Structure 1
């Protein structure tokens, strides 16, 4: 368990005081992939640098394995840092060293004997899928391969926590998915707690169990990814969710698809888990005297199950339309009426 309590970081200059991280409290269970998302300047990168003390906190506690990292000094802090791995957006590899030597570097610093070091490095190379590239230099690798080296290096000292600071931002979409799949695999194989900083909701959706949304140094919302997707509370969270549902604020563009020959309701349906696999629209049409026009929809997988959104027009007599909506709600699907036609 990582327990972060009332964590703050204040930067002071002659002209201003900046609360980069402002009274943040988060609990992260062991073995969880926890996402922190926010726009540029939200404080998320400062937050992750506080966790391994690349920045010193102004206030608060960072409890890891029953130790307050914020209170550690010099030698105890150095030893604790060895159990906190970190990967970066721009890889931070040693360009004059091979893949093998880059991964071995933290083991050298830790004083691990060469035989044990070589065995560990080869194990990590196999784990991250770099077999055959041991003697390559970073300049000979693709972006995804460089990040795999960075991940292997971060795992060299068997950390209990892996921090990822925008680890996929410099990668193309296909390579991003490959790296995210690798992180999920590592999380499952090693029961490793991962804290992932990003500004991309797709990354949160694909790999995280829970998420915190940051704005101006504060956590404005946190919870299970599935719940945050279905019922975003803050304006910032809603903007991020819109990245995955671009139609959210474009409902007026559906007018050309909506019929006007009889009364209808345009509704948005939220499907969660097994309900996303159910032929509910077909059921409603058979059970009740309504016609249903599907306008737009999507189903997205998350670590906690499938999440689907469907926009439909329900046509028929007003009382029967209400019966159809009640039938859908009784099936465990959330209904939001968007427009009366």
Structure 2
């Protein structure tokens, strides 16, 4: 487990003090993919660099597998960092070295023999899908291939933790999904704990088990991704959720499609987990004497299951409408009434 307690970073300039990270406490479980999301200036990149002490914390502690990183002397920290891999937004490759030599570099520093280096590098090249590119230079690679080299290099010393600082921000959407699929595969094959920093909710949705939302150096919300998506509490989280369902905040426009009859209710349905696969609308139409007008909807998969949102107008007698909504709620689907009959 990674235990982060009261972690803070204060920058002192000639003119002002800047609290980049402010009293952050989190527990990250072994083998999980933990996301940290925030807008520019939220403090998330500083936060991830505090975990391996690329930045020195002003206060607080980071404990990885019962070892307090923040109290380690330099010689112990250098050794511990070999077990904390890191990948970056702009790859940070050595441009004069081939793919093979870039991946071998941390092994050279660690004093691994040439024969073992070769065996390990070839294994990693196969793992990240770069077979045939061993002797290519970074300038000959696509952005996605460069990031695969960065991932392989970060895995060279068999780390306990992999830190990803905006690892997909420089990539196009299709390549981003490929890299995210690779991280999920690595997480499952190696049981590797991954801490992923991003400003893209799609990244969190696709691969993370839990997420912390940062704003002004603080964690304003954290929990399981599915729960945070369905029940966002902070304004910042709600803005991120809108990235996945941009029509969510345009409810007023729905009324352009409503019949506006006195015998109608407009409801928002939340489908979570297995309920997202259920043919509930079909069930209702067969069971109750109502007319259903589907206004809009969306469904999104997460690591913990799918969740969907559906806006519908239901027309019928008031007593029937009441029974219909009760049936929906009893089915395990959350209901928010937007317009009463």
- TM-score bracket for this pair, using the shorter chain length: over 0.9
**In structure 2, how many angstroms separate the alpha carbons of the residues matched to 1:202 and 1:133?**
29
Which stretch shifts more, 313-322 or 106-115?
313-322
- Aligned counterparts, 1:85-104, within 5 A: 85-104=85-104
Structure 1 residue aligned with 2:235: 235
Equivalent residue, structure 2, for 1:58 = 58
Q: Which residue of 2 aligns with 1:49?
A: 49
Aligned twin of 1:272: 272
Task: Identify the residue that residue 27 of structure 2 maps to in structure 1.
Answer: 27
C-alpha separation between the residues in 2 aligned to 1:324 and 1:9? 53
Deviates more, 1:215-224 or 1:249-258: 249-258
- State the 1:119 CA deviation: 0.3
Aligned-pair distance for 1:314?
1.0
- Deviation, 1:260, is 2.9
Match of 2:11 in 1: 11
Number of the residue aligned with 2:200: 200
SS at match of 2:15: coil
Using the alignment, how far apart are the partners of 1:308 and 1:256 within structure 2?
Answer: 22
Deviation at 1:318, TM superposition (A): 2.1
**How far apart, CA to CA, are the structure 2 residues paired with 1:22 and 1:52?**
17
Q: Which stretch has the larger CA shift, 247-256 or 201-210? A: 247-256
Equivalent residue of 1:301, what SS?
strand
Q: Distance in 1 between matches of 2:281 and 2:303?
A: 26
CA RMSD in angstroms, aligned pairs only = 0.9
Which residue pairs with 2:301 in the alignment?
301
1:340, CA displacement in angstroms? 3.8
Report the Cα offset of residue 69 of structure 1.
0.3
Deviations 1:76-126 (A, max 9, x none): 000000000000000000000000000000000111000000000000000
Structure 1 match to 2:251: 251
Structure 1: gaps spanning 5 or more residues: none
1:318 corresponds in structure 2 to: 318
Report the equivalent of 1:190: 190
Structure 2 portions without partners, runs of 5+: none
Aligned mates of 2:96, 2:338 — CA distance in 1: 59
Contact 1:262 1:316 in 2 (8 A): no
Deviations 1:224-243 (A, max 9, x none): 00000110000000000011
User: Residue in 1 aligned with 2:147?
Assistant: 147
TM-score by length of 1: 0.99
Residues 1:138 and 2:138 are matched in the alignment = yes
**Other structure's SS at 1:76 match:** helix
Aligned mates of 2:100, 2:266 — CA distance in 1: 58
TM-score by length of 2: 0.99
Q: Specify the alignment match of 1:180 in structure 2.
A: 180
After TM superposition, the structure 1 stretch with the greater mean CA deviation from structure 2, 163-172 or 8-17, is 8-17
Runs of 4+ in 1 over 3 A off after TM superposition: none
3-state DSSP class of the match of 1:18? strand
Residues in 2 aligned to 1:82 and 1:17: alpha-carbon distance in whole angstroms = 33
Distance in 1 (CA, whole Å) between partners of 2:31 and 2:86 is 16
The residue number in structure 1 matching 2:213 is: 213
